[in-house]
Amino acid sequence: MMEQEHWGYKQIGYKFVTGSRFVTATDLDTFCSVTGMREDIFLDDEAAKTVGAEIGQIPKGRIVPGAFQLAIVFALLRETGLIEKGVFLGTNNMKFNAMVYPYDRLRVEGELLDRRVTSKGDRVIVNYSWFLKNQADVAVAQGENTCIFPNPEKP
């Protein structure tokens, strides 16, 4: 990471866009296996359609769980260098707006909402909004995260 990419150097209102990545069927299978989220709607196309019909939203196939979508947000942000050496403190106003499927291409867009140095001056707390968007530019999920980082201006 280049030093100037750290949140500590960014001004409120700074906007960012990450690179993108495909969510493969193997990614979904692995995530569900590792986390124990072995729900039929995540693992089987026909089961997802049946459950969807019962709630009035028929997906085109199995869907990507929200927990995996949030993990993708962090993975894409990590690749930018913005959250390097940070500790996640929480998220607010998180919403899942549309279904995500295997082979969707996802990216994150967002904005720095607040940045403040702690009273000791050794850390920076940031709040930023994010939108997880698919290949059709649909915001499939969104939220506001708070993280804390070492202050890059204080050795």
Structure tokens at 67: 């927990």
132, 108 Cβ separation under 8 angstroms: yes
- Whether residue 142 is contained in a domain is answered as yes
pLDDT at 9: 75
124 vs 103: CA distance, rounded Å: 36
- Whether residue 31 is contained in a domain is answered as no
pLDDT tens across the length of the chain (155 residues): 344 466 767 889 999 999 999 999 999 999 999 999 999 889 988 888 887 666 667 678 899 999 999 999 999 999 988 888 889 999 999 999 999 999 999 999 999 999 999 999 999 999 999 999 999 999 999 999 999 999 888 76
List pLDDT tens digits, range 25-57.
Answer: 999 999 999 999 999 889 988 888 887 666 667
- Whether residue 146 is contained in a domain is answered as yes
- Whether residue 85 is contained in a domain is answered as yes
- Range list of H helices, 61-129: 66-80
pLDDT at 53: 65
CA–CA–CA angle 8, 11, 16 (5° rounding): 90
β partners of residue 125: 116, 148
- Whether residue 44 is contained in a domain is answered as no
- Whether residue 79 is contained in a domain is answered as yes
* CB-CB neighbours of 60 under 10 Å: 11
Q: Supply the range of the domain harboring residue 69.
A: 12-21+64-150
82, 6 Cβ separation under 8 angstroms: yes
pLDDT at 55: 67
- Collapsed DSSP state (helix, strand, coil) of residue 146: strand
- Whether residue 38 is contained in a domain is answered as no
- Whether residue 90 is contained in a domain is answered as yes
Number of domains in the chain: 1
pLDDT at 38: 92
CATH of the domain at 71: 3.10.129.10
